Structure 1
Amino acid sequence: MTSEADGSGRFDTRVGELLDRRHPVCAAARVSAGRVAVSVRGAAPGDTFEIGSISKSITGLLYHDALARGEIGLDSTLGDLLPLGSAPAARVRLGDLATHRSGLPRLPKAAQPVRRTMSLWRHGTNPYGEDLEQLLAQVQGVRLGAARPRYSNLGFELLGHAVARAAAMTYAELVRARLADPLGLDSVHVPATPAELGPGALVGRSRRGSAREPWTGEAIGPAGGIRASVQDMARLTVALLDGSAPGLTALDGVAPFGRGAVVGAGWVTVDVARRPITWHNGGTGGFRSWIGLDRVAGTGVVVLSATSLAVDRAGFALLTEPTRSPVA
């Protein structure tokens, strides 16, 4: 591995222990006391990974930023912002989308998720790829379920595009204007097609090493379509901890979400060893990701892998294990 850390290389060593040979292309970053350590294997520090559902956490930040700007209100609905006509989804409030309480399913039946999942498993194809117009058409026939905690990719797709519409932008433009440019996150982008991938775009792989198509698509962007380098994810983590990121109230838990957890706007908080940890993970066809914050201690960790093997355990360990000296 290559590492930007203190001379001892302890962070690099620990990352290597936690992310073994099953993760041939991976990266991790730890922020502590305002200092950053980065460890990379099989890639350059500026190469981009699919961050998967960590995109939801970014959408949550942008949602709260839009609230603070007065572009939307607490009672704003999807129908106020998107051309959904008489579709049941039109009456869903954005705040219920942000906390996974909208009654929307994980994916619309019109997207044929079972068929697409089988195609992903067999051939590594991208199960997404719709543009916004196609997404809105799929939503027309979706019925609302009970307003209870139910994780929904569809809900966060619609949330992100609604917030972008309120700002008179596309979602990709919103990410650039409100997050990437202000924080200097040059690699952070939302590719709608493979042609929009940059030269440092890594190829994701299955657990057995088979290449997977990139998960690109306008529709999926707010729920799982963002790409970023470990360097820029580390910079985002710094901004989340020092208060310079937009929409920070998205981190605050406001509703129960599973056993012992609370959810803010896409961010989940759980107690680990009596410490509140605010986090999210992500997974695409060939990538896994994790970001976590100990806001009391002022510490954060990001873990990225270009293979479809979970990295959550490594993320929690790097965040909660004691360190002998400040990371540099």
Structure 2
Amino acid sequence: MTATLPPPPTHVRAAPEAPLLEAALARVRAPDVVLAVSRAGHRTYAFGGTGAGAHAPAGPGAGAAGREHLAYGLGSLTKTFTVLLLADLARAGALALDDPLTAHLPGTYGAAAGRITLRHLATHTSGLPRVPRDLLVPAVLHPQTNGYAGYTRERLLAALAAARPRHAPGTRWHYSNLGIALLGPVLEHAGGAPYAELLTRRVLRPLGLDGTTLGPGGATPATGHRGDGRTPVPAVDMAAFGPAGGLLATPADLLTYAEALLDPRAAALRDVQVPQLRRRTPRHRREVHTLTWFQHPGRGGPLLFHAGATFGQQCFLGFHPATRTAVAGFATRHDRLTAIVGASYGLLHSLSVA
């Protein structure tokens, strides 16, 4: 049974959006909660949580207690960085979005894999399963164990060879960690360097994201927790699945990232926001997907967003270009009651119409 945590104490810097931030913080249940807002370049941070740092001071220069400078696991939000790198290499002519996947991988993978393009991988329309079959049984038997640790590139390519596509490439949307992970070796082949080096050189450094790294190694990492809110979970090693979920980033860095997307001076930053498809189910009939972002209609223009989770943390990043508003949310607890994604999305929506 999941423990119900008491309402978290909060700390919000004085700002016009403070009441909305307070309301959003009150929805989230986690030892450490951070909400970060950028509106026309002006930043506001809100802190909450039930942990020891819940009353930490806010603002740049607050030292170790300034949680906007801790590194939080991004989980699937990493995918937006990987696809941005893909778009950047496409602009540089190192590859094309409609290249076959197999054109950038050594080995033989069968006719089905040969019909998958890089665009299919980026937009989750490849037909590949969410995860390889050799991860399914361990995930069921040991749900709290990180099965990605030690998963090699060789196993990843073997998983592609053994995969049975759920549908023909380009015909349906089906979320696939495997598909995005395969962009890792593709980008390495096209860029002539390891994924982490390419991402740092072509995306992180140009955008000034010094607090964003593939795995621990930069800023002090935040400690995640299981659903009970007490059991700590260390930072996750994603191995070959790093391009699908291995980045850590500070809230300050995520706002910098969002601000670059709100003012996309580089072509690749614009490319990843171009709509590619619409979900064709009654539940998602109004949901559009760009090359990497989910997109919902909003006042004056769309809301773009993506969420992520590790075994002990959850996060959200969304932005509304029409009002130059961005919201990043982080929680160091992972279960369905944490509510950071819903609270952050609701905050973004509220700010976009305020």
| Fold equivalence (TM over 0.5) | yes
Paired position in structure 2 for 1:302: 328
- Alpha-carbon distance, 1:272 to partner: 4.2
Q: Percent identity?
A: 30
- Alpha-carbon distance, 1:217 to partner: 2.5
Residues 208-259 of structure 1 show CA distances to partners (whole Å, capped at 9, x for unaligned) of: 1222243212311111111101011111111111114643311121111242
Residues 180-206 of structure 1 show CA distances to partners (whole Å, capped at 9, x for unaligned) of: 111111121112xxxx44461112112
Paired position in structure 2 for 1:226: 247
Are 1:284 and 2:314 counterparts? Answer: no
* Greater length-normalized contact order (CA 8 Å, ≥ 6 residues apart): 1
Paired position in structure 1 for 2:275: 253
Whether the 8 Å CA contact 2:219–2:250 is kept in 1: the answer is no
User: In structure 2, what residue type is equivalent to 1:317?
Assistant: G
1:24-103 paired onto structure 2 within 5 Å: 24-41=31-48, 42=53, 44-87=67-110, 88-103=112-127
Query: Structure 1 stretch 270-279 or stretch 47-56: which is displaced more?
Result: 270-279
User: In structure 1, what residue type is equivalent to 2:204?
Assistant: A
User: In structure 2, what residue type is equivalent to 1:306?
Assistant: T
Residues 265-305 of structure 1 show CA distances to partners (whole Å, capped at 9, x for unaligned) of: 22111124675111111112111111111112211111111
Give 3-state SS (helix, strand or coil) of 1:296's partner: helix
Task: Tell me the TM-score normalised to structure 1 length.
Answer: 0.87
Q: Kindly report the root-mean-square deviation, in angstroms, between the aligned alpha carbons of the 2 structures.
A: 2.3
Whether the 8 Å CA contact 1:64–1:248 is kept in 2: the answer is no
Inter-CA distance 90–187: structure 2 relative to 1 (3 Å threshold): farther
Give 3-state SS (helix, strand or coil) of 2:90's partner: helix
Whether the 8 Å CA contact 2:83–2:291 is kept in 1: the answer is yes
Paired position in structure 2 for 1:315: 344
- Where does structure 2 lack aligned partners over 5 or more consecutive residues? 1-9, 54-64
User: In structure 2, what residue type is equivalent to 1:15?
Assistant: L
User: In structure 2, what residue type is equivalent to 1:128?
Assistant: Y
User: In structure 1, what residue type is equivalent to 2:34?
Assistant: A
Residues 66-119 of structure 1 show CA distances to partners (whole Å, capped at 9, x for unaligned) of: 1111111133122111224234434410011111111111111122x2422442
Kindly tell me the number of residue pairs found equivalent between the two proteins. Answer: 314
Query: Structure 1 stretch 163-172 or stretch 11-20: which is displaced more?
Result: 11-20
Residues 143-201 of structure 1 show CA distances to partners (whole Å, capped at 9, x for unaligned) of: 2231311111111111233123211122211221111111111121112xxxx444611
Whether the 8 Å CA contact 2:212–2:218 is kept in 1: the answer is no
Give the whole-Å Cα distance in 2 for the aligned partners of 1:17 and 1:133: 47
Paired position in structure 1 for 2:58: none
Paired position in structure 1 for 2:147: 127
Give 3-state SS (helix, strand or coil) of 1:83's partner: coil
Inter-CA distance 213–117: structure 2 relative to 1 (3 Å threshold): farther
Paired position in structure 1 for 2:258: 237
1:152-301 paired onto structure 2 within 5 Å: 152-191=176-215, 196-198=216-218, 200-209=220-229, 210-244=231-265, 246-257=268-279, 258-272=284-298, 275-301=301-327
Give 3-state SS (helix, strand or coil) of 1:316's partner: helix
User: In structure 1, what residue type is equivalent to 2:118?
Assistant: L
Whether the 8 Å CA contact 2:94–2:190 is kept in 1: the answer is yes
Whether the 8 Å CA contact 1:126–1:214 is kept in 2: the answer is no
Residues 25-60 of structure 1 show CA distances to partners (whole Å, capped at 9, x for unaligned) of: 121211111212122343622111111111111122
